[in-house]
């Protein structure tokens, strides 16, 4: 069984890999290159085809803007199977955008630092991969520099996201109260996602109105960061995004130390790191909930909900031992019942939980993957083993889907996964999990 799944995972990645040197998340629904997908995908390739892993990283980095920004989607080719495409986003409005690669004007979680480090750890030919890292690490550093220079208006060491699509957790209930503060126009547009996937598993039309409206506001100001910080109705400090930045800072420090030299960059990274870690524990840890939470910078209020993002700081070594014990207890109490697969994307005890709808409850393999490594780092081997076996059981049961129902009872009714099928990061991270 395991061998077949391994072959199936590799076939999916190979099949989704495009002639241009990048991998689509899945056919139909997502026909371009996505930033955080690319990082996870490169890790999967690193286990059996390092040239493809390098190509994946390189095509994404080639689309970097001259201010260090890396977009969330690179539209390498034309496709009418996705909305909103390059004509809606108009990233070229930004004076420093990359005129060679059409893209969006928003970003996604900073996965590239820790991806490079994992590639190095996985590599059999370390000299070859180190050469690749030497050539490309500066571009990842520039991306971090972009974040700290442009996305931290109060100089807290915590960067903001200005769009829910930047979080990666696109339609999480976390954002519902922000939508309440907005009243976007009713857009007329043709959804494409719901021609590929059952509408009950995707965001609503009204949610899309909000998503498009935030982009329109950014476009009115040519995607200027200072204007966005001043005017965007969505401005959030996200623990998942910031944990990944911190994890990637650490990876860059480790890699620069292996490469040698670059003392100024190491010093800068260490400075960012110290400040980010301290602010993170001060501002994003909620004692009452026993979990990390998001902070709404626009409306100056904490977003007090527990989601799978609440546990992601484990992956970056942010919690103290005591905090780790508390958040893991919160996770097991709310998300860890015997009737559930770990780890639902939103608090299963909350009325906003929906086990079928995109980021409003289903299990996602990339969050499980981070959780697995985080739990191991803190010495919670048994719970880590459960996260791993739950993930593998889901993938074996229904295939390499995009997301999964966390309720075990659901599989007695129907054996199926949700969203896109033959989904690249589910395949890629499976290859990493079974190799650990």
Q: Applying CB under 6 A, does 209 fall inside the site for ligand DGY?
A: no
Taking CA 283 as the corner, what is the angle to CA 281 and CA 289, rounded to the nearest 5 degrees?
80
Q: Which is nearer to ligand DGY, 62 or 170 (CB)?
A: 170
Of these, 22, 69, 165, 353, which contacts ligand DGY (CB under 6 A)?
165
**Number of chain positions touching ligand DGY (CB under 6 A):** 4
d(CA 49, CA 427): 14
Handedness of CA 326, 327, 328, 332 (dihedral sign): positive
Q: Which is nearer to ligand DGY, 72 or 386 (CB)?
A: 72
Residues between 179 and 198 that touch ligand DGY (CB under 6 A):
193
> Residue 16 and residue 25: Cα distance in Å, rounded?
7
CB nearer ligand DGY, residue 36 or residue 280: 36
207 near ligand DGY, rule: CB under 6 A: no
> Both tokens of residue 350?
């909350």
The least CB distance from residue 50 to ligand DGY, in Å, is 27
As a whole number of angstroms, the distance between CA 84 and CA 373 comes to 34
The nearer residue to ligand DGY, 21 or 203, going by C-beta atoms, is: 203
Minimum distance of ligand DGY from residue 228's CB (angstroms): 18
**Smaller CB distance to ligand DGY: residue 72 or 247?**
72
Q: Does 170 bind ligand DGY (CB under 6 A)?
A: yes
Q: How far is CA 145 from CA 69, 112, 208, 313, 429, in A?
A: 9, 13, 31, 21, 28
Q: What are phi and psi of 239, to 5 degrees?
A: -65, -30
Q: Cβ of residue 233: shortest distance to ligand DGY, in angstroms?
A: 18
Active site residue ranges: 170, 402
Give CA separation, 200 vs 28, 171, 193, 358, in Å.
18, 13, 11, 9
Residue nearest to ligand DGY (CB): 165
| Residue 185 beta carbon to ligand DGY: minimum distance, rounded to whole angstroms | 20
CB of 203 to ligand DGY, least distance (A): 7
- CA nearest 170: which of 45, 79, 73, 31? 73
Minimal distance, residue 359 CB to ligand DGY, in Å: 9
Binding mask 50-89 for ligand DGY (x = CB under 6 A): ----------------------x-----------------
Place of tokens 């026909």: 31
Helix (H, G, I), strand (E, B) or coil at 236: strand
Nearer to ligand DGY, 72 or 94 (CB): 72
Q: Comparing C-alpha atoms, which of 376, 295, 368, 298 is closest to residue 335?
A: 368
**Residue 214 contacts residue 85 (beta carbons within 8 Å):** no
Whether the CB-CB separation of 118 and 39 falls below 8 Å is answered with no
Residues engaged in binding ligand DGY (CB under 6 A)? 72, 165, 170, 193
């Amino acid at each position: 069984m395991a061998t077949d799944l391994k072959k199936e995972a590799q076939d999916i990645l190979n099949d989704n890999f495009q002639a241009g040197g990048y991998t689509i998340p899945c056919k139909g629904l997502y026909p371009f290159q996505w930033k955080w997908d690319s990082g996870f995908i490169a890790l999967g390739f690193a286990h059996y085809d390092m040239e493809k892993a390098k190509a994946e990283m390189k095509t994404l980095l080639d689309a970097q803007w001259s201010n260090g920004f890396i977009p969330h989607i690179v539209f390498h080719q034309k496709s009418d199977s996705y909305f909103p495409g390059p004509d809606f986003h108009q990233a070229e409005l930004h004076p420093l955008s990359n005129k060679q690669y059409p893209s969006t004007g928003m970003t996604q979680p900073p996965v590239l630092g820790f991806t490079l480090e994992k590639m190095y750890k996985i590599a059999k030919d370390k000299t070859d991969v180190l050469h690749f890292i030497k050539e490309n690490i500066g571009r990842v550093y520039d991306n971090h520099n972009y974040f700290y220079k442009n996305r931290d208006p109060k100089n807290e060491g915590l960067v903001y996201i200005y769009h829910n699509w930047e979080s990666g957790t696109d339609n999480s209930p976390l954002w519902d109260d922000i939508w309440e503060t907005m009243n976007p126009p009713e857009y007329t547009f043709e959804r494409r996602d719901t021609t590929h996937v059952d509408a009950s598993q995707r965001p609503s039309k009204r949610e899309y109105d909000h998503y498009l409206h935030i982009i329109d506001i950014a476009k009115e100001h040519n995607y200027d960061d200072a204007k966005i910080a001043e005017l965007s109705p969505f401005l959030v400090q996200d623990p998942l995004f910031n944990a990944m930045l911190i994890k990637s800072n650490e990876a860059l420090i480790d890699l620069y130390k292996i490469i040698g030299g670059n003392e100024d960059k190491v010093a800068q990274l260490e400075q960012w790191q110290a400040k980010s870690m301290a602010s993170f524990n001060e501002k994003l840890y909620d004692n009452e909930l026993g979990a990390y939470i998001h902070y709404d910078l626009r409306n100056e209020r904490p977003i007090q909900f527990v989601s799978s993002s609440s546990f992601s700081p484990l992956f970056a070594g942010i919690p103290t031992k005591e905090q780790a014990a508390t958040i893991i207890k919160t996770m097991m109490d709310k998300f860890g019942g015997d009737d559930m697969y770990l780890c639902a994307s939103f608090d299963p005890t909350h009325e906003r939980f929906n086990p079928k709808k995109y980021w409003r409850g289903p299990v996602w393999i990339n969050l499980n993957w981070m959780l697995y490594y985080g739990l191991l780092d803190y010495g919670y081997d048994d719970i880590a083993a459960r996260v791993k076996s739950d993930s593998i059981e889901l993938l074996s049961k229904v295939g390499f889907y995009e997301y999964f129902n966390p309720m075990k009872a659901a599989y007695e009714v129907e054996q199926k996964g949700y969203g896109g099928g033959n989904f690249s990061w589910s395949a890629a991270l499976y290859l990493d999990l079974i190799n650990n």
